Amino acid sequence: MRIEPVFLFDLDGTLVDSVYQHVLAWKQALDSEGIELSVWRIHRKIGMSGGLFANQLVRETGLAIDDDGLERLRRKHAEAYRRMADAIRPLPGAKDLLAFLTAAAIPWAIATSGRIETAGVNLAALGVDPAKVPVVTRDQVKYAKPDPDLFIAAAARLNAPIETAIVVGDSIWDMLAAARCRALGVGLLCGGYGASELQQATAFRVYDDPADLLVHIDELGGRR
């Protein structure tokens, strides 16, 4: 009996070239609140849940941030990110990869830590209609990455066991979440994390970007 794979994709830095826009949007939001945090430190947190982001922010700055302050930061980040919408582009090969999986009848879904207010910008750039494609956003689950809720929900939308899923992401948070739900994690370098970081976080394969993954799709159980 052949086990058919399903693909669960992160969005920012995996299918869409948007990580650094998120970083700059968070920088603008933090600066507006008088919170100093280096850009490189912000980058290390892209993809994790808002609660974990807040916890790390408190540890690194020593500032106490209440729920109202966190919500204000989130809103300012979303507003700044939407102002950058015209600069958001699909990563090389992203559309071709999704088109190949669709043509090959290999199920796929998107699972993103972003809320729909920012994820909608990315989906539009990618040409993905959430009314036609399974998309799970932060708004729909209790916890985001590195908790596995997003990927578990996405697999359920495909009516597939999570153990048969291949999680494709660009950050260590994607890989940790994949490991926690017993899915196979595949890392992409196009979000800024290094190959060794992704592998240490349990990625069993690492590729440059969606185009490179498509070239090697047979290594993941896809068939041309």
3-state class of 128 per DSSP? Answer: coil
CA distance 58 to 64: 6
Residues 6+ apart with CB under 8 A from 197: 172
Joined together, the tokens standing for residue 168 give 């494709």
Which positions are annotated as active-site residues?
A: 10, 12
Joined together, the tokens standing for residue 170 give 């660009």
CA distance 180 to 177: 5
Exposed e or buried b per residue across 133-152, where buried means at least 16 C-beta atoms within 10 angstroms of its C-beta? ebbbbbeebeebbbbbbbbb
CA distance 73 to 143: 18
Q: Write the DSSP symbol of residue 177.
A: H
Where are any strands of DSSP class E within 12-69? 16-17
Closest CA to 50 of 67, 63, 33: 67
